[in-house]
Amino acid sequence: MKFTLRLALPRDASSVPVVRGVLTESMETLGVEQECVEDIRVAISEACTNVLDHVEEGDDFEVVASIDDAVCALEVIDRGTGFDGSKVGHLVAEDDSETGRGLRLMRALVDSIRFEQRAKGGAVVFMEKELQWRAGARLPKLSGLSDRAGPAG
């Protein structure tokens, strides 16, 4: 079984806590271990915050989160100018730096991340995080995989 959320959001700072809250609440309800929830919560917050810097006023962006018994796959899709994600976020950012820390943090919190430029403008950030489940978690039970749930947390 797969659980998918698709959110279309305005370019507005208030969109970031909405995405973070909806995704966090969904993962907690499904039974994802708290450490995984926190990693994904921070990574999606950073990705959405980056969108605010790369899209024009009035543009919207989209977040798609797919959760199955093994992985949370995230897509953050914008219509902005985009950037080459393969060239940023690898070096340690200075403590007072205004840029570079978010991408580095995203890379540290998820298992895979890639960036894709769209032909019609904008970019997509793809992230995946392997999930760990609390004992009795709902999604593995619905998928017939209740033995994959980890010990109670």
- pLDDT tens-place string over residues 67-89: 998 999 999 998 866 555 454 44
Q: Is 105 strand, coil or helix?
A: helix
Separation of CA 3 from chain center:
14
Per-residue tokens: 119 = 């032909």
In a domain, 65, yes or no: yes
Tell me the C-alpha distance between 60 and 8, whole Å: 7
Evaluate whether residue 20 is within a structural domain.
yes
pLDDT for 136 beyond 60: yes
In a 3-state reduction of DSSP, which class is residue 20?
helix
Give the residue numbers spanning the domain of 122. Answer: 3-148
Q: How far is CA 108 from CA 27, 99, 112, 120, 127, in A?
A: 20, 16, 9, 30, 11
Q: What is the CATH number of the domain that holds 51?
A: 3.30.565.10
Nearest CA to 153 out of 33, 40, 71 is that of 33
pLDDT tens-digit readout, 12-48: 889 999 999 999 999 999 999 999 999 999 999 999 9
- Mean pLDDT of all residues belonging to the chain: 82
In a domain, 26, yes or no: yes
Is the whole-model pTM more than 0.85?
Answer: no
Give the number of other CB atoms < 10 A from CB of residue 144: 10
153 lies in a domain? no
Domain contains 28: yes
Q: What is the pLDDT of residue 152?
A: 43
- Average pLDDT on 134-140 reads 81
Q: How many folded domains does the chain comprise?
A: 1
Task: Please report whether residue 113 resides in a domain.
Answer: yes
In a domain, 9, yes or no: yes
Helices (H), the chain: 15-30, 34-54, 101-109, 138-142
Token digits of residue 126? 């793809």
DSSP conformation class of 144: T
89 within a domain of the structure (yes/no) = yes
